Structure 1
Amino acid sequence: MELWDKNMKTTEVVFEAVLPVLKLLSMALIGLLLSHPKIQMIPKPTLRLLSKLVFFLFWPCLIFTHLGPVISVKKFIQWWFVPINVVISTAVGSVLGFFVALICRPPPEFFRLTVIMTAFGNTGNIPLAVVSSVCHNEDNPFGGTCYDGIAYAGFSQWVSVVLVYTLIYHMMEPPLEYYEVVEEGTEIEELTNLPTGNENDLSTPLLIEAEWTGIEDQRTEHCQTPLVATIFNSISDVSQSNTPDIESIREMPSSPRSYGCLAEPKVVRKIRIVVERTPINQILQPPLTATVLAIVIGIIPQIKATVFGSDAPLDFITDSLAMISDGMVPAVMLVLGGMLWEGPNESKLGLRTTIGIVVARLLILPLAGIGIIYLADKWNCLIADDSMYRFVLLMQYATPSAILLGAIASLRGYAVGEASALLFWQHVFGLVSISVYIFIYFKLLVTLF
């Protein structure tokens, strides 16, 4: 059965749409049951270990073994709309989040959080899990090229990570007003009491560690400083009592001074300080490293012939990595089940704002995505006659907020409980909304695209 068959019955489309999600839901329920306190077959330390395996092993192997054999210079150019679509979905989500914040009126310190949690979706493990589940059956509606969807999803990783560690990182800094009212010395005391990787602390929610294992080890004093607000606010508007001033930041060893008569303009200096405090060194996480390696090897024919293919000398290594990658989807869903058992964290965001974010992210944004992809198809921006390509692009609008946002919130000390609670509720309702939109996408791919 091919997806472009115009004679598909509605019941067949419903079955093909619901079945992949039912598989994922079953695995998540198993994880939920096995992590139940009365059973404790998978205690929290085990789930953390499983999360580390996903982050450092299963996920990179899945991307590398599916993206590498498919990518080439020609396809690298043809797939240009995949990263652009991530940027578009983030921009449209930001607009929706802004309206949600205006309508629902969250507490002022959570205005930016409302925009961020609506804007930035999960373009990593959830699309990969959905595509893998759809392609698991030999009679899947996408045919023999179904697993190209994993390559498409993996190809979008780099732009997502760059957005998180640059734009989102600075947007999630603590509000300056909140920072000022903290008593002097409180931040230092909190920082000295932070758990380290050697203390085997289990208090960090699984949500936070799910896409950034070892987050606690990356936290420093500067992570929880409202750097951008401090630098770009004038002295007359900002109290200098408890916040670091520009001069103290500028004099730090990592910030080179201006030389002699080559006086550095104030705006340039401010931008430079912000750039220097951006954690660029954290961008090359294992999944992104796997993406970069797969692209580099895939676009160089001589190296590609050595690594990928049944006749390749290193084919046995690639096969081994492919076998390891098979654990990606089950492990992710087991961790998700354990995460759901933890329940939502306490949140001061408010019920109305929480509902507004969930509705905007899971219901309204996917509808906007349908219109965007339809226009892109009509303007010949997409690969011709590739239904899986369109399906992956549509899925980028339908996923819950990126779990990595919870990790960034923890790193920056900003709205950790609120971010975790939002992620929890989005993933709960996302099980239903993703099923509905997969059905809609399948139907549209049959009749419209």
Structure 2
Amino acid sequence: MDQGMATGSDNLLSAVVPLMKLLCLTVIGLILAHPRTQIVPRATFKLLSKLVFALFLPCLIFVHLGQSVTVDDVLLWWFVPINVLISTAIGCALGYIVAIVCHPPPQFFRFTIIMTGFGNTGNLPIAIVGSVCHSSDNPFGPDCRRAGIAYVSFAQWVAVILVYTFVYHMMEPPMEYYEIVSEENEIEEEEPISNASRPLLHEAEWPGMVDKETTHSKTPFIARVFMSISGSSQNTFPDIDFSEEGGSTAGPSSPKSLRCFAEPKVVQRMRVVAEQTPIRHILQPPTIASLLALIVGLVPVFKAFVFGYDAPLSFFTDSLEILAGAVVPSVMLILGGMLAEGPNDSALGIRTTIGIVVTRLLVLPLVGIGVVALADKMHLLIEGDQMYRFVLLLQYTTPSAILLGAIASLRNYAVREASALLFWQHICAVVSLSFYIVIYFKLLSYV
């Protein structure tokens, strides 16, 4: 245990005060963006969001991850990205239970699973870590901020890959309800939506996501590939051209070709789906910054040249660090601007909404405590590093990722439901985060 770990009432203050700081920033953003005041227009918040995404956040990741990471650290930190997979898997399992128990409308069954399972593993944890470490008497020691941001950044690439693969396909419009879902959004699509009028939710965490449309992004593509579409559905969707289906050189009389005929078709369909998966978009500024930080940090010659008081490029990294300081206030102001737009009407149902919020914000953190405690007993975690454990616990505690709103818009599926659910989750997260961070501080003080 770190000697600086606070106890008693100091422990309580150390947990609550950082969240109060973040809450103040969020309220300021809400006031500035509220429709009644309009002190700062929505377009300004969108520009700020792009600055965070393309400049401030990459600077933060590069500076803190690059300075902290070494070859030995990569071998020690392996559980951080694995924990993202574990928390997502457990969250999706709980989301499936929520969907079974709460009986959402059938077209939102997969949506319920995703919104329960996929939490915010990037901007919000970085803001919480930055706020916790802001004071000199923080409970995690002098290297609190750098280590915490390095841990969070090290796990971001896993979350990005999950978004562009698993989440992207899970948020596909259900084929049997595709016409219903499309009709609900027809009125909105009659007039082209400009960037200025688009809800801030779609640009709040990953600007430009909704502009990455592919040919089949708004259709139930996987269902079309793997299921036979007949009747009226055939008129709704154009045929998918499998150009290589007839390209086999094996004759029809070949026993081997007859025996293995089904397998190539399955493989072919998997290939078509893989080609339509927008995995190429993972190389965005934050991901590129993470890769550069790892390259520089893992090569001692590069690291000595870029980081350190006597490094030739120290003036450059100092400039990046100044820019990185804008991440936390900017992220919370953007969140306030998003909340100022209020919740949209939702067809999800009150029971399902409450089920997702309670499971995501109250039940999943309890499971996370058990997972991290078990990993600690199995000696999978870094000995004596309380910030390491704190970041692992945060991965179970945050509300659903704001990025899911952009994915919903990209897939044209449950857009209003995502907006409403994210709004209520972030409102309730003020209480749940405060409650669990107090618990985490108490638990970590006795480790």
Mapped pair 1:211 → 2:205: yes
Provide, for residues 62-113 of structure 1, a one-character-per-residue CA deviation record: whole Å limited to 9, x for no partner. Answer: 1111000111111111100000000000000011000000010000000000
Secondary structure (helix, strand or coil) at the match of 2:310 reads coil
Whichever residue aligns with residue 314 of structure 2, its letter is D
CA contact (8 A) 1:63 1:291 kept: yes
> Aligned runs of 1:137-176 on 2, under 5 Å?
137-147=135-145, 148-176=147-175
* Aligned match of 1:56: 54
Mapped pair 1:423 → 2:422: yes
CA separation of 1:416/1:258 partners in 2, compared to 1, >3 Å: closer, same or farther? farther
Measured in 2, the distance between the counterparts of 1:421 and 1:266 equals 41
CA contact (8 A) 2:35 2:341 kept: no
* Aligned match of 1:33: 31
Measured in 1, the distance between the counterparts of 2:19 and 2:209 equals 30
* Aligned match of 1:132: 130
CA contact (8 A) 1:59 1:325 kept: yes
Whichever residue aligns with residue 166 of structure 2, its letter is L
Secondary structure (helix, strand or coil) at the match of 1:401 reads coil
Mapped pair 1:232 → 2:232: no
Q: Give me the identity figure in percent.
A: 58
* Aligned match of 1:242: 236
CA separation of 1:356/1:412 partners in 2, compared to 1, >3 Å: closer, same or farther? same
> Aligned runs of 1:13-412 on 2, under 5 Å?
13-147=11-145, 148-180=147-179, 193-195=191-193, 199-202=194-197, 204-235=198-229, 239-245=233-239, 248-251=240-243, 260-261=249-250, 265-412=264-411
Secondary structure (helix, strand or coil) at the match of 1:86 reads helix
CA separation of 1:45/1:235 partners in 2, compared to 1, >3 Å: closer, same or farther? closer
CA RMSD across the alignment: 2.4
Q: How many pairs were matched up? A: 436
Whichever residue aligns with residue 68 of structure 1, its letter is G
Measured in 2, the distance between the counterparts of 1:257 and 1:318 equals 57
Measured in 1, the distance between the counterparts of 2:232 and 2:375 equals 45
Whichever residue aligns with residue 392 of structure 1, its letter is V
CA separation of 1:257/1:335 partners in 2, compared to 1, >3 Å: closer, same or farther? farther
Measured in 2, the distance between the counterparts of 1:367 and 1:238 equals 48
User: Structure 1 stretches of 5 or more lacking a match?
Assistant: none
Provide, for residues 173-205 of structure 1, a one-character-per-residue CA deviation record: whole Å limited to 9, x for no partner. Answer: 111012256899x9999878543xxx4431x22
* Aligned match of 2:254: none
Measured in 2, the distance between the counterparts of 1:183 and 1:364 equals 34
Measured in 2, the distance between the counterparts of 1:271 and 1:237 equals 25
Measured in 1, the distance between the counterparts of 2:13 and 2:377 equals 29
Whichever residue aligns with residue 91 of structure 1, its letter is A
Q: 1:286 offset after TM fit, Å?
A: 1.2
Task: Tell which deviates more after alignment, 296-305 or 129-138.
Answer: 296-305
CA contact (8 A) 2:386 2:444 kept: yes
Secondary structure (helix, strand or coil) at the match of 1:223 reads coil
Measured in 2, the distance between the counterparts of 1:351 and 1:191 equals 27
Task: Tell which deviates more after alignment, 222-231 or 125-134.
Answer: 222-231
Secondary structure (helix, strand or coil) at the match of 1:346 reads coil
CA contact (8 A) 1:4 1:446 kept: no
Measured in 1, the distance between the counterparts of 2:69 and 2:181 equals 51
CA contact (8 A) 2:245 2:265 kept: no
Whichever residue aligns with residue 99 of structure 1, its letter is I
Whichever residue aligns with residue 128 of structure 2, its letter is V
Measured in 2, the distance between the counterparts of 1:47 and 1:5 equals 38
CA contact (8 A) 2:211 2:410 kept: no
